Amino acid sequence: MSNHLKNITLRIWRQAGPAAKGNFETHVVDEITDEASFLEMLDILNDKLVTEGKEAVVFDHDCREGICGTCSLMIDGQAHGPQRGTATCQLHMRQFKSNDTITIEPWRASAFPIIKDLMVDRSAFDRIIESGGYITADTGGAPDANLIPIPKVIADAAMDSAECIGCGACVAACPNGAANLFTGAKIAHLSRLPQGQAERYSRVESMVETMDDHFGSCTSHGECEAACPKEISIDVIALMNKDFRKAKFANRKDLARK
């Protein structure tokens, strides 16, 4: 049965544009059912703001099921809020109590510039994928899907890292703003599969280099793993680093032969 929370104070980051100076704005939610999701609470607040003639708080969201990776809020200093393995949109008000004060901020990372209020630009992630986060297989001409059996454990392990939703919480949580968990997850997905072997080393080289162009460097804090809504294991970073070293070595050998 549902309960009602009373008197929730929200401190929300407002920022008019990328170059504008931002500040916290305070709003009080008098009453809300604990069945409501966190974002539904913001919907209700926004509806009220618009009716009062004020501008709604801008925030990114879409699927509201924890799968699209669009939602992206720093809640009380934690990426996606207090519940482990949970994206912002899956957070329900049951996680909070009456009279709580909740601070809501955007992802803060130099690679993710703020667009407005709580919305940031994460296109640097797309640049990493564009540089090699794929298996080259033009449409048509693929062999029968069952031609290459893949042991279940391998397929499952690939799936574990393929589950990354590209939300950027790992970057936001990292003191250095590094994207190693995101990049490592894609590399681990593709490099574990037989289909991904042909490009294994060229892929890791170009993805890591693109990552380094945009993001900070990893110093193994491990905050990323704790913040990740899909609980991607930090092991993927080790795998990426190992492959990257091999790639550098292999490519030197190739060059020497020429």
Q: Is 118 in the site for ligand FES (CB under 6 A)?
A: no
Render the burial of 27-54: b for 16+ CB within 10 Å, e for the rest. Answer: bebeebebebbbbbbbeebbeeeeeeee
Could you say which of 49, 56, 58, 68 contacts ligand FES (CB under 6 A)? 68
Could you say which of 89, 124, 169, 234 contacts ligand FES (CB under 6 A)? 89
Q: How far is the CB of 226 from other proteins (least distance, A)?
A: 19
| Span 211-250, contacts to other proteins by CB under 8 A | none
Q: How far is the CB of 249 from other proteins (least distance, A)?
A: 25
Q: Is 165 in the site for ligand SF4 (CB under 6 A)?
A: yes
Distance CA 79, CA 63 (A): 18
Could you say which of 63, 102, 226, 238 contacts other proteins (CB under 8 A)? 63
Could you say which of 151, 175, 253, 258 contacts other proteins (CB under 8 A)? 151
**Residues 36/53, Cβ–Cβ less than 8 Å:** no
Q: How far is the CB of 212 from other proteins (least distance, A)?
A: 17
Question: Percentage helix, strand, coil, to 5, in the chain?
Answer: 40, 15, 45
Helix 200-214 vs helix 235-257: crossing angle, to nearest 10? 110
Mode of pairing for the β-strands spanning 78-79 and 4-14: unpaired
| Span 185-214, contacts to other proteins by CB under 8 A | 189-190, 193, 195-196
The helix/strand/coil state of 167 is coil
- 87 makes contact, choosing from ligand SF4, other proteins, ligand FES, none, with CB < 5 to 8 Å by partner type, with ligand FES
Q: Is 208 in the site for ligand SF4 (CB under 6 A)?
A: no
Distance CA 190, CA 135 (A): 7
Distance CA 141, CA 152 (A): 25
Nearer residue to ligand SF4 within complex by CB, 132 or 229? 229
Nearer residue to ligand FES within complex by CB, 88 or 161? 88
Could you say which of 49, 63, 102, 238 contacts ligand FES (CB under 6 A)? 63
**Residues 176/219, Cβ–Cβ less than 8 Å:** yes
| Span 148-207, contacts to ligand FES by CB under 6 A | 165
Q: Is 25 in the site for other proteins (CB under 8 A)?
A: no
Nearer residue to ligand FES within complex by CB, 69 or 216? 69
**Residues 16/4, Cβ–Cβ less than 8 Å:** no
- 228 makes contact, choosing from ligand SF4, ligand FES, other proteins, none, with CB < 5 to 8 Å by partner type, with ligand SF4
Distance CA 88, CA 79 (A): 8
Residue 129 C-alpha from the chain's centroid? 14
Q: Is 130 in the site for other proteins (CB under 8 A)?
A: yes
- Give the footprint of ligand SF4 on this chain (CB under 6 A): 164-170, 181-182, 185, 227-230, 232
